[in-house]
Amino acid sequence: MSKKKIGIIGCGHISDTHIKSWNKTKNSEVVGLFDIDENLLLAKAKKYGIKNTYTSLDNLIEACDVLDVCTPPQTHFTICMQVINAGKDLLIEKPLVTDVNEWEKLKEAINQKEVKVGLCHNLKFNLSVQNAKKKIEQGDIGQLLRINRYFLTHPDADRMLRGNSHWSHKLPGGRWYETMPHELYITHFFAGWSELDNVTALSTSNATEGAPADEVCFTLSNNNVISNYHYSSNSKQNKRYIEFIGTKGILTLDVLSDMMLVDKVVDSKKKRALGIFGIDALKKVAQIIPDRIRYYNQKLKGISPHTRIITQFDEYLDGKADSPTPMEEIDFVVKYCDIVGNEIDRKIKK
Ligand SMILES: NC(=O)c1ccc[n+]([C@@H]2O[C@H](COP(=O)([O-])OP(=O)(O)OC[C@H]3O[C@@H](n4cnc5c(N)ncnc54)[C@H](O)[C@@H]3O)[C@@H](O)[C@H]2O)c1
Nearest to 348 by CA among 221, 205, 220, 167: 205
Nearest to 306 by CA among 9, 12, 14: 14
pLDDT number for residue 350:
66
Nearest to 113 by CA among 86, 133, 76, 132: 86
Q: Which helix (H) or strand (E) holds 102?
A: helix 100-113
Question: Could you tell me if the CB of 159 is within 6 A of ligand 1?
Answer: no
- Give this prediction's pTM: 0.96
Question: Could you tell me if the CB of 74 is within 6 A of ligand 1?
Answer: no
Check residue 123 and report its DSSP letter: G
Phi-psi region of 86 (alpha: psi -120 to 50; beta: other; left: phi over 0): alpha
Question: Could you tell me if the CB of 118 is within 6 A of ligand 1?
Answer: no
Domain boundaries defined on the chain: 4-115, 124-304+335-347
1 confidence band (pLDDT: 50, 70, 90):
confident
Which distant-in-sequence residues (6+ apart) come within 8 Å of 46 by Cβ? none
pLDDT number for residue 204:
97
Which distant-in-sequence residues (6+ apart) come within 8 Å of 185 by Cβ? 121, 123, 124, 325, 329, 332, 333
The beta-strand segments (E) located in 131-272 are 144-152, 195-202, 215-221, 226-232, 239-246, 250-254, 259-263
Mean pLDDT of 121-148: 98
What CATH superfamily classification does 4-115 receive?
NAD(P)-binding Rossmann-like Domain (3.40.50.720)
Indicate the average pLDDT of the chain.
97
Distance 179 CA to ligand 1 centre (A): 13
**pLDDT for 79 beyond 70:** yes
Question: Could you tell me if the CB of 119 is within 6 A of ligand 1?
Answer: no
Selected from 1.10.3720.10, 3.40.80.10, 3.30.360.10, 1.10.3210.10, the CATH number assigned to the domain covering 124-304+335-347 reads 3.30.360.10
| Minimum CA distance residue for ligand 1 atom 9 | 93
Mean pLDDT of 207-235: 98
Q: Are strands 52-54 and 117-120 parallel, antiparallel or unpaired?
A: unpaired
Instruction: Please say whether the beta carbons of 32 and 53 come within 8 A.
Output: yes
Question: Could you tell me if the CB of 41 is within 6 A of ligand 1?
Answer: no
- Environment class of 81 (CB within 10 Å of its CB; exposed 0-12, middle 13-18, buried 19+): middle
- The tens digit of pLDDT for each residue in 90-115 reads 999 999 999 999 999 999 999 999 99
Cα 166 to chain centroid distance, Å, stands at 19
Which residues, listed in sequence order, are joined to residue 317 by a DSSP beta bridge?
none
Instruction: Please say whether the beta carbons of 336 and 196 come within 8 A.
Output: yes
Q: Which helix (H) or strand (E) holds 38?
A: helix 38-48
